[in-house]
Amino acid sequence: MGSHGRPWTGRPARSVRLLVLLPLVLIALITVTDVLAPPDIHLGPLLVVAPALTASFAGPRVTAAVAAVAVAAQFLIAEIRNSITTSNHLTQILALMAVSAVVVFFCRLREHRDAELAQVRSVSDAAQQVLLRPPPARLGPLLLASAYQAAVDEARIGGDFYAAVRTPRGARLLIGDVRGKGLEAVDNAALILGAFRAAAHRNPGLPELAGDLDGALSWNTAPEGADTSEDFATAVLIDIPDDQPVITLLSCGHPPPLLLRRDCHLALEVPDPAPPLGLAELWPHPRRTYDFPFAPGETLLLYTDGVIEARGEDGVFIRWRTGCPGGATTAPPGS
């Protein structure tokens, strides 16, 4: 978005100035050709192409200026041909002025719509920064990096969520995906993130923390009449202590993280993941955590299902290759 409320047109000012030369050149060519053409040939109506073309890349002011030049060219043609008072040229001039006015009007509507869209995107970006605060670059000895890419360009926020906090023993990570889309999914993601940030610093065990998050989603104070019986979110909770080369993981139905080693990639799958958050009442068993080796120099990749559902240019799902020498495809839980 440009400064002082002006909408971003997608082109720098210098590019617009260069593109304006094209309709001006067209006006000159049409004018010269019409003047040199036989009396029974009239090319003046083609001048309407100039403002119409300008409206595709410039704002209403520039479009109106080019339209004025086109109308002046139409007057010049009529004057040179000594037929400015004839009904034919008067009709061409009036028609050109009318069409140009319509083009400028719709160009102004488009500029107003683009300004509103830019403002909405600005608010959406601000909301995403509040909801998905970028994690710190470092938590103790752990280096962090994050990226959020919406499925479509118009989208800014959605049901995916992640967070990282510092605890007395190390780093605590959360990533997940709320069922559904739109404002309801954003509301549920905000509930989970708020509960995580409020409880994670107290350093409860991961099963107890997952219970807090489950309760926050289950006790959602949705508007009266809204159906929240099917609200749930997949998630992964991870503890990475400062003084041990290990990862403690609790999976709530989320795709398994990847452990990236120098020579292979391992999917950190667990034998009995807990149900997604919001569905704890359907699971009578206690949530279990699992430990995986995590040596210095290794990388842990957390992601949502949009990554594993990505398609290549051929439309086929991109295949993830996991495994290590010896045939292992899943890192076995530690003791």
Query: Mind listing the pLDDT tens digit for each residue in 194-234?
Result: 899 888 878 789 999 999 999 888 775 444 544 555 688 99
Mean pLDDT computed over every residue of the chain: 81
Q: Sort residue 180 into left (φ over 0), alpha (ψ -120 to 50) or beta.
A: left
Q: Which pLDDT score, from 0 to 100, does residue 335 have?
A: 43
Buried b (16+ CB within 10 A) or exposed e, 150-169: eeeeeebbbbbbbbbbbbee
Question: Is the pLDDT reported for residue 112 higher than 80?
Answer: yes
Min mean pLDDT across 8-22, 110-124, 157-171 is at 8-22
Question: Is the pLDDT reported for residue 327 higher than 60?
Answer: no
Domain definitions of the chain by residue range: 3-128, 135-308
pTM, rounded to two decimals: 0.61
At the top level of CATH, the class of 135-308 is alpha beta
Cα–Cα distance between 53 and 201 in angstroms, integer? Answer: 59
Q: Which pLDDT score, from 0 to 100, does residue 63 have?
A: 92
**In which element (H, E) is residue 160 found?**
strand 160-166
Number of helices (H), then strands (E), belonging to the chain: the values are 7, 10
Q: Which pLDDT score, from 0 to 100, does residue 129 have?
A: 64
Cα–Cα distance between 147 and 161 in angstroms, integer? Answer: 11
With beta carbons less than 8 A apart as the criterion, state whether 230 and 179 touch.
Answer: yes
